[in-house]
Structure 1
């Protein structure tokens, strides 16, 4: 993180903006502190990573990362409260995309670069956490189904470091491809770099208050839609694409389900706009697909205020806020694999009412769904809606109206970004909210990004001791 702060420092230095001193000072402070800690804790023997320690480690990292990332925002020329700076950093690193900053068009380029870098670093951090760390803890999306069996010959890659390198390579390659596409479509180099990082990370931070609507280009909206979808697919698929035999044997039902949901909802929304608003179907399809995919993948871009389209559009976007992308991607939300399992469970339960003595085995792709997996999915949905309602009540106590409180809680727990209403809708931001509301929303983003269980399990005293 300290090293990454040198990038916006160089940008501000080149623009002769005094904020470069803030980034250099923050980088030096954090780098010095980390060096002292690393020196003081250097040992010959390595500590054993228990499951309980793993939960604590993951949560601690994701609390201290925005604490560190918020320092340049707080000490810069933005004049943010610390709650606002922490909210912005948490939103960036969790790739939520909600912002407390207005006037992006005139913001120093170093701060814009730092916001994009936070989302890009958070995106690869999320992938690594979801694929390399959380499965071993029994929490998170891919822990429902290990992507590799005990048989070494069926593993994606034989070593963890090879898998990590493959994931990073795929992430960087997608980012470069997205940036090059934006440049070819007429976007300026600085905008292209920033938007490429936040598109692939499905984060949604923009360099303009009008977000993607600033460019007024259907071609850019189409390109952004494609790369948002690519960022919302499980990144293991890009490694398997170079392993033809293993790719052919691999089946992940969540991918076609996710793509079908995006297609069906986009066509439905475009048809409703053609019927209700008399918008030309081609224009309606491009803007509807872009904005809807942005919400489903929890990116948070917007080309216009879609809450003004119609009540039908609001209902479709509200539904889309729950869905999310695929497990093992940079997106948040419920995620498509859980929706598949929930559907299979409901279907089996209804079938059992007709044939109570029938023996049924639920399968997800090539794997039989165990009782533990079904229990994990049930617990997640209970915690998701429990956190959503708790956040709504807490935000209401901060003086927010019900629409702002509920959709704000949903947008942060699902890591979507923009919510509904005049304050925090697609045309607004979170900057006018009181500091207590900022802290509540920051906690929501942390809970949503770490799949709820990883954080909430630390609240039980039985976990603290052997």
Structure 2
């Protein structure tokens, strides 16, 4: 990695920071509208961050380096790190009196669409701050989709690219219509947020809260404008089903939606990961609804509403909660714990391990068992009708291995900060999978991360970035080979 590449990556990251500083004017306008003095905070933050980013951009401008794999890895890491740190400024300057650890945690949680929070008193917080949290989720969700569809697949470490499911005349020249794809992606994503906000409003949610929750729902970001999250709407089935449907849509591959918009390709629905994703969402929701009906005597429709909302929220890594599901009984808690690993589809706004990886791993397992009986048999690993390339197989095995090793290491680190076993285990897991809440009385669905030590917040923030960038994209930057010639 040469200096020119590092300089170019810093230049691109600073350009994105300028865009982020411009976005700070939106919550400033919201505070002005509601007569809150915190508009000055966002005005100052926009000028400070914009000026700093502009200075860095001017100082690092020059000829772009060749588009190499190393440059791609460096750029991805710098972009997410820059966005997370730049988003911290309004929190630090706000009237909430947040520490540096709290501000970084909240910003990184938003931009990675994790949804964990350290803020108490959300119901009385300045409206601009609430809007800024939602905007971070909105921008983070859009960035996550672009990352999963366009970049990570070409770095051979994640996802199924839009271009790899397109027709053969596009595959060999994937960026020829990149502008069309990008416009379609932004249009579809924004249209879903608008539709979600309209549905929330029609279901009885106040306009400001509907807009904020819509951004966090489609982005599967989990930031709420209430301390109690969706417990406030627990008696409103229309709100909960709206959230369930749009969270589920957020977990679908946006490549499919792009294909609908550009080509009208309905056959893309045959993507195997969609069936797996929909299958485990329905299975968990129905199983726990029946369990609640039998064990607690809850009316079935109510049980299904609560189960579908909360399990879809956990599976899609949105992190909303309409009830304290840890009080549903041991089976429900175990199922929630398992659901925290799953995630949605490749190229969606979700975190977690994701459905396509489970498909490939189970295929590898099945082939391995067959070879025990027929050692000389050649058995290709298939994803639907296509053979999975060796490099994708290696990437998936590397990802899952790294995931569990890092989960264990982060759990130990959190335990060293003084957290109890359940908080450390689920805190590490929810950070790596970008779910939001963990389990237990501290960081469970009715708690938050405000009371955990600052050291634990820094560890969790790092884990959120690791999980959002599919782990390998971060780990490779810390290898000597990456920086060697």
Size of the alignment, in residue pairs?
A: 465
Matched, 1:184 2:165: no
DSSP-derived class of the 1:242 partner: helix
Match of 1:331 in 2: 350
Q: How does 1:206-285 map to 2 (within 5 A)?
A: 206-215=224-233, 216-243=235-262, 246-248=265-267, 251-285=270-304
Q: C-alpha distance in 2, partners of 1:315/1:358?
A: 39
Corresponding residue to 1:12 among 22, 27, 31? 31
Match of 2:91 in 1: 73
TM-score by length of 2: 0.93
TM-score by length of 1: 0.96
Match of 1:53 in 2: 71
Matched, 1:96 2:114: yes
Match of 2:159 in 1: 141
Contact 1:148 1:156 in 2 (8 A): no
Per-residue CA deviations over 1:11-56 (Å, capped at 9, x if unaligned) read 112222221111111100111122222333333x432222111111
Contact 1:98 1:430 in 2 (8 A): yes
Match of 2:124 in 1: 106
Corresponding residue to 1:347 among 361, 366, 370? 366
Q: C-alpha distance in 2, partners of 1:57/1:154?
A: 24
Matched, 1:404 2:423: yes
Q: C-alpha distance in 1, partners of 2:40/2:277?
A: 45
Q: C-alpha distance in 1, partners of 2:264/2:325?
A: 44
Unmatched 5+ stretches in structure 1: none
Q: C-alpha distance in 1, partners of 2:309/2:22?
A: 34
Corresponding residue to 2:388 among 361, 369, 386? 369
Matched, 1:360 2:379: yes
Unmatched 5+ stretches in structure 2: 1-19
Distance 1:380 1:212, change over 3 A: same
DSSP-derived class of the 1:98 partner: coil
Q: C-alpha distance in 2, partners of 1:313/1:379?
A: 30
Contact 2:353 2:433 in 1 (8 A): yes
Match of 1:151 in 2: 169
Distance 1:112 1:344, change over 3 A: same
Q: C-alpha distance in 2, partners of 1:250/1:182?
A: 27
Match of 2:57 in 1: 38
Contact 1:201 1:231 in 2 (8 A): yes
Q: C-alpha distance in 2, partners of 1:192/1:144?
A: 31
Match of 1:86 in 2: 104
Q: C-alpha distance in 2, partners of 1:345/1:398?
A: 38
Deviation at 1:245, TM superposition (A): 6.0
Match of 1:170 in 2: 188
| Cα RMSD, aligned residues only | 1.8
Corresponding residue to 1:447 among 438, 462, 466? 466
